[in-house]
Amino acid sequence: MGISRYLESRKNIAGSACGLVGLVLTFTGVAGPYWPVVVAGLYGAGALIAPPERPPLPEFPDPSAQLGELRGDFEKLSGYLADADLPPEARDLLARLDELLSALLDPGWAAELLAQDPEGLHVLARAVRQDVPEAVDTFVRTRWWTRLTPGQEPPELHLERQLTLVQDELKLLATALRETEARRQESHTRYLEDRGRDR
């Protein structure tokens, strides 16, 4: 800790306050000839009982900023998928997945709900940044080895299964967001009904 930081610290402030009490005792004659020891002792006691310094909380991006970054990553993912050589069935699955991701990432009501749902935001980020690119990359690499050693299980089956699982997870997220809005609507209806009965 630097000198300037120590001078502004709680320990120094508490110690100085107690040291001032020692000076008051000195001027009133209570401390006697041992006043330096009394002042130093009180300063030390004040510094010891002061609460410890608390480090500042780290600043993390707020959910709306995280969604903005995620939209940028989704654009990168879309460019990557456009260049990948994939079978027609996987392309169809990716088109449906792309539509679902676009709807969830679209600025608007979904983004507002996701900003209040860290777990949902995590599911969405994992799909964009990990699950989909890893599924496609693993397929591309496995297909190359399968061509060298024919007779193995087709890697297309795994890719289609993986993309279907990601899509199912995102559908559950979309359903949960829809149910949140439905509960909000029902709550507002009950509020209006209760208000009408109170008249």
Identity of the highest mean pLDDT range in 68-82, 103-117, 138-152: 68-82
Please indicate whether residue 24 or residue 4 has the higher confidence score (pLDDT).
24
* Alpha carbons 135 and 166: distance in angstroms, whole number: 10
The mean of the pLDDT values for the chain is 83
Per-residue model confidence (pLDDT) at position 135: 94
Per-residue model confidence (pLDDT) at position 193: 86
* Alpha carbons 134 and 183: distance in angstroms, whole number: 36
Q: Cα–Cα–Cα angle for 77, 152, 127, nearest 5°?
A: 20
DSSP letter string, 50-82: SPPP-PPPPP---HHHHHHHHHHHHHHHHHHHH
pTM score of the predicted model: 0.64
Per-residue model confidence (pLDDT) at position 24: 79
* Out of 25-34, 35-44, 189-198, least confident range: 25-34
Please indicate whether residue 113 or residue 164 has the higher confidence score (pLDDT).
164
* Out of 18-27, 79-88, 101-110, 158-167, least confident range: 18-27
* Alpha carbons 24 and 18: distance in angstroms, whole number: 10
* Alpha carbons 20 and 24: distance in angstroms, whole number: 6
- Is the torsion defined by CA of 171, 64, 102, 122 positive or negative? negative
Structure tokens at 185: 């609507």
Per-residue model confidence (pLDDT) at position 14: 81
* Alpha carbons 102 and 93: distance in angstroms, whole number: 14
